[in-house]
Amino acid sequence: MARLNLLEETRYEKLPVTVYSDQQAASVAVAKRIASLIRKRNAAGQQAVLGLATGVTPIKVYTELVRLHKEEGLSFKNVITFNLDEYYPMKPDAVQSYVTFMNENLFDHVDIDKAHVHIPDGTLAPDDVAAFCLAYEKQIEELGGLDLQILGIGRTGHIGFNEPGSAPNSGTRLVTLDDLTRRDASRDFGGKQNVPAKAITMGIGTIFKAREIILMAWSAKKAPIIRKAVEGEMSGEVPATFLQLSDNVEFVLDTDAASELTRFDTPWMVKDCIWDEPLKKKAVIWLSGAVNKPILKLTEEDYNSNGMAQLAVEQGPVYQINIDIFNQVQHTITGWPGGKPGADDSQRPERAEPAKKRAIVFSPHPDDDVISMGGTFIRLVDQGHDVHVAYQTSGNTAVWDDDVLRFMEFAIDFKESVGEDTAKMKGIYEDMRKFMQVKQPNQIDSLEIRDVKGFIRKTEAISGARYAGLPDGNIHFQALPFYETGKTQKNSVGEEDIRLTMELLQQVKPHQVFTAGDFADPHGTHIVCFNIVIEALRRLRQTEAWVKDCWVWMYRGAWQEFPTSEIEMAVPLSPAEVLRKRNAIFKHQSQKDRPVFPGDDAREFWVRAEDRNRETAQNYDRLGMAEYAAMEAFVRYHF
């Protein structure tokens, strides 16, 4: 019976999928499978032939393999590897090369014979590429093929660099990269303009010949393409769908990457459910959108025709279910994000007391506060709360070099205008210009350049916070050490990051903490900053009584929004408040027009924010709620 239930749950899935609680658990499981294969081949006196991938996805797999080598004696002496791809052109010692990646993450830490390592050559002359690709294929064939190929997946659905349009029988070859793939790689190269337009990649046909294929994917960013690859029709537009033809493939996912698969996203479509309140709310809101009706107009036929007959039978009549969910959604709406003084707060998202709260907004980058919750920020100040803002990082990697020169020229002119000597400053300015003329993509800036970039973002943040109404004493710059590497790749979180956050929290003793819950940001900074805040509060809960009365609210905005069913506080904004929020965002001039790291969204940050806030209000309107110009949404974090 359990097997039948599983088949029913996965009937939309066209290939095997294994889901783990998080990417760490999944990576360890994949590493153990690789280690088992290596040991099995070693025991038989045979070589293990592995196809390896690069990018963020396999890093934890390689970390676990290194641990198994150092702590459990896993030997790589009889391992031969073939990497999927390499940018073209690309020097092997470049920071962005996959040779560098593989050495840093695996090969330099294990006992593999470097003669057994094969990575496409990004230094070849154009006329030599075709012959190299044929030889690459021949080497794999002469070894009896790949025992195991591990894959990631790009948001275009590419595997390796087999972009949309790739043929299922394609071999190793030179390809042109999709624009989205280049945008996704832009941070590693210091801008999309520096990302090579081509790459050498194994073909889909080459991958298919492996005796075992494991495709891994982590995070909600990959969820839409995973659903297409697993449940969609085979198409050259999504090359990963060709893996549906293989009998030897398995997708290994974390829960976020699997979240849009039918069995997780709309489980009532494939099985009987335990209808707790969150699932019921999600299902009714989904049904409202599916049939394009307000909640209160949903009928029993709508329920029965859309996989929700069980809910109607168990908890009906459906009109009562509709009223219940309508009221739940309506009660998330409040114009009082700090609580309405003297009001009955039993049906409100925030407490009425204390009437005047201390609140602190943690902003990972110096503009996330106003982009993501600028309207709520301003309203909290207007309603008399003691609001603080903490800019967790300097954001100094996201400023254009020419802005540095412009500000230095201003500083020199000002010093001269008041009669001060500018010789030293002019010398620093000339050094900056010389450095910038020969600067390589993603090369670490000099300390002076990093400082100026940090000062630019600091003054913009101060201007935005002042516009929101904050006194200077309530504006805090943490410059958390994990970020201050000068590189796009940041350090791991350390004790100092947590200590600095604990000290600020102890100073303010907030009743409300607002922190970024937008983990889709391409930098990865938001989730790091979120975890620092949560760990600081978790430790303080052990000794500080005030923390038990501190509520944590997560916000989103620049990169994504919470699903409507998850929103616990929705703060409506009037047209005038939308304009005030826009003006606060405009204070961040270095991020306007064309930010250094825009991600894959071409819109300016203020446009993204307004569009998302408008969409949130429209979603509420479609459910049958009052119509507002815009809404900012929050979800409460519970310890």
Q: Provide the 8-state DSSP code for 218.
A: -
CA distance 266 to 347: 28
CA distance 497 to 480: 5
Tokens of 599: 């991600």
Residue the block writes with tokens 């408008």: 614
Closest CA to 186 of 486, 596, 589: 596
Q: How many CA atoms lie within 13 A of 151 on its CB side?
A: 29
CA distance 290 to 293: 8
Q: How far apart are the first and last CA of the chain?
A: 37
Crossing angle between the packed helical segments 495-508 and 525-540, to the nearest 10 degrees: 60
Residue the block writes with tokens 């390589």: 440
CA distance 516 to 362: 7
Q: How many CB atoms lie within 10 A of CB 586?
A: 18
What are the strands of the beta sheet with 569-573, ordered from one edge?
Answer: 475-477, 386-391, 358-363, 512-516, 551-555, 630-637, 569-573
Which residue out of 13, 163, 231, 577 is catalytically annotated? 163
Q: How many CA atoms lie within 13 A of 559 on its CB side?
A: 21
Active site includes 460?
A: no
Residue the block writes with tokens 């003691």: 386
CA distance 56 to 184: 12
Q: Which helix (H) or strand (E) holds 390?
A: strand 386-391
Closest CA to 295 of 620, 635, 633, 552: 620
Residue 96, phi then psi, degrees to nearest 5: -90, -5
118-153 burial, b if ≥16 CB within 10 A, otherwise e? bbbbbebeeeebeebbeebbeebeeeeebbbbbbbb
Q: What is the largest CA-CA distance in the chain?
A: 87
Q: How many CB atoms lie within 10 A of CB 346?
A: 7
Sign of torsion over alpha carbons 18, 22, 25, 26: positive
Q: How many CB atoms lie within 10 A of CB 415?
A: 15
What are the strands of the beta sheet with 17-20, ordered from one edge?
Answer: 17-20, 249-254, 213-217, 148-151, 48-52, 79-83, 117-118
Q: Which residues are catalytic?
A: 163
